Amino acid sequence: MSEMTQTAAKPRIERSATASRTYAIFLIIGLVALILAPMFFYPIFLMKLLCFALFACAFNLLLGYTGLLSFGHATFFGGAAYFTAHVVKEWGFPPELGILTGVVGAALLGLIMGFFAIRRQGIYFAMITLALSQMFFFFCLQAKFTEGEDGIQSVPRGHLFGFIDLSGSTNMYYFVLAVFLIGMVIIWRFINSPFGMILRSIRENEPRAISLGYSVARYKLGAFVMSAALAGLAGGLKALVFQFATLTDVAWQMSGEVILMTLLGGIGTLIGPIFGAGLVVTLQNYLATSQFPVTIVTGVIFMVCVLVFRRGIIGEFYASRLGRKLGFEHRR
Amino acid sequence: MTMIFGIPLQAFLGQLLIGLINGSFYALLSLGLAVIFGLLRVINFAHGAQYMLGAFAAMLMLEYFGINYWVALILGPIVVGLFGAVIERTMLSRLYNLDPLYGLLFTFGLALAIEGTFRYLYGAAGQPYSVPAQLAGGTNLGFMFLPIYRGWVVVVSLVACIGTWLLIEKTKLGAYLRAATENPVLVQAFGVNVPVLLTLTYGLGAALAAFAGVLAAPIYQVSPLMGSNIIIVVFAVVVVGGMGSIMGAILTGYMLGIAEGLTKVFYPEASNIVIFVIMAIVLLLRPAGLFGRDA
C-beta atoms of B283 and A116 within 8 A? yes
Query: Which pLDDT does position A9 carry in this prediction?
Result: 40
Please report which confidence band the pLDDT of residue B293 belongs to, taking 50, 70 and 90 as the band edges.
low
Residue A238 lies in a domain: yes
Comparison of pLDDT for B139 and A261, the residue scoring more: A261
Residue A330 lies in a domain: no
- Residue of chain A whose Cα is closest to the Cα of B234: A131
- Residue of chain B whose Cα is closest to the Cα of A72: B232
Query: Which pLDDT does position A309 carry in this prediction?
Result: 85
Residue A7 lies in a domain: no
- Residue of chain B whose Cα is closest to the Cα of A127: B235
Q: Look at residue B132 and tell me whether its pLDDT is greater than 90.
A: no
| Total tally of structural domains belonging to chain B | 1
Query: Which pLDDT does position B114 carry in this prediction?
Result: 94
Residues forming a β-bridge with B7: B4
Chain A residues touching B233 at Cβ < 8 A: 131, 134
Calpha distance A102→A89 (Å, rounded) = 13
3-state helix, strand, coil in chain A (%, to 5): 75, 0, 20
Q: Look at residue B49 and tell me whether its pLDDT is greater than 60.
A: yes
Beta carbons within 10 angstroms of residue A36's beta carbon: 10
Query: Which pLDDT does position A76 carry in this prediction?
Result: 96
Q: Is B284 on the interface with A (CB under 8 A)?
A: yes
Q: Is B124 on the interface with A (CB under 8 A)?
A: no
Residue A332 lies in a domain: no
Q: Are B273 and A138 in contact (CB under 8 A)?
A: yes
| pLDDT tens digit sequence for A257-269 | 999 999 999 888 8
Q: In this structure, what are the phi and psi dihedrals at residue B197, rounded to the nearest 5 degrees?
A: -60, -40
Query: Which pLDDT does position A61 carry in this prediction?
Result: 92
User: Domain range holding A223?
Assistant: 14-325
Residue A206 lies in a domain: yes
Query: Which pLDDT does position A7 carry in this prediction?
Result: 39
Residue A1 lies in a domain: no
The average confidence (pLDDT) of chain B is: 87
- From the number of C-beta atoms within 10 Å of its C-beta (0-12, 13-18, 19+), residue A240 rates as buried
Nearest CB among A69, A132, A138 relative to B272 is that of A138
Residue B274 lies in a domain: yes
Residue B194 lies in a domain: yes
What CATH number does the domain containing A223 carry?
A: 1.10.3470
Nearest CB among A126, A292, A305 relative to B104 is that of A126
Choose, out of A302, A306, A307, A308, the residue to mutate when testing the contact with B (most B CBs < 10 Å). Answer: A306
Choose, out of A68, A125, A127, the residue to mutate when testing the contact with B (most B CBs < 10 Å). Answer: A127
Calpha distance B27→B248 (Å, rounded) = 9
Helix (H, G, I), strand (E, B) or coil at B192: coil
| Total tally of structural domains belonging to chain A | 1
In chain A, which residues have pLDDT < 70? 1-17, 329-332
Select from A296, A254, A264, A252 the least CA-distant residue to A51: A254
Residue A258 lies in a domain: yes
| pLDDT tens digit sequence for A109-122 | 999 999 998 988 88
Chain B residues touching A250 at Cβ < 8 A: none
Chain B residues touching A131 at Cβ < 8 A: 232-233, 235-236, 239, 275-276, 279
Residue B143 lies in a domain: no
Over residues B107-126, mean pLDDT:
90
User: Domain range holding B207?
Assistant: 19-120+168-285
Residues whose CB falls within 8 Å of the CB of residue A305, separated by 6 or more in sequence, listed in order? A260, A263, A264, A312, B105, B109
How many Å lie between the alpha carbon of A196 and the closest alpha carbon of chain B?
A: 22
Residue B157 lies in a domain: no
Residue B226 lies in a domain: yes
A112-119: long-range contacts (C-beta < 8 A, 24 or more apart)? A113/A72, A113/A75, A113/A224, A113/A228, A114/A220, A114/A221, A114/A224, A114/A225, A114/A228, A115/A221, A116/B280, A116/B283, A116/B284, A117/A70, A117/A72, A117/A224, A118/A68, A118/A217, A118/A220, A118/A221, A118/A224, A119/B283, A119/B284, A119/B287
Chain B residues touching A127 at Cβ < 8 A: 43, 235-236, 238-239
C-beta atoms of B109 and A303 within 8 A? yes
Query: Which pLDDT does position A330 carry in this prediction?
Result: 61
How many Å lie between the alpha carbon of B133 and the closest alpha carbon of chain A?
A: 37
How many Å lie between the alpha carbon of B132 and the closest alpha carbon of chain A?
A: 33
- From the number of C-beta atoms within 10 Å of its C-beta (0-12, 13-18, 19+), residue B132 rates as middle
Query: Which pLDDT does position A6 carry in this prediction?
Result: 40
Residues whose CB falls within 8 Å of the CB of residue A244, separated by 6 or more in sequence, listed in order? A85, A151, A152, A153, A154, A155
Query: In which region does residue A143 sit, left (phi positive, over 0), alpha (psi from -120 to 50) or beta (all else)?
Result: beta
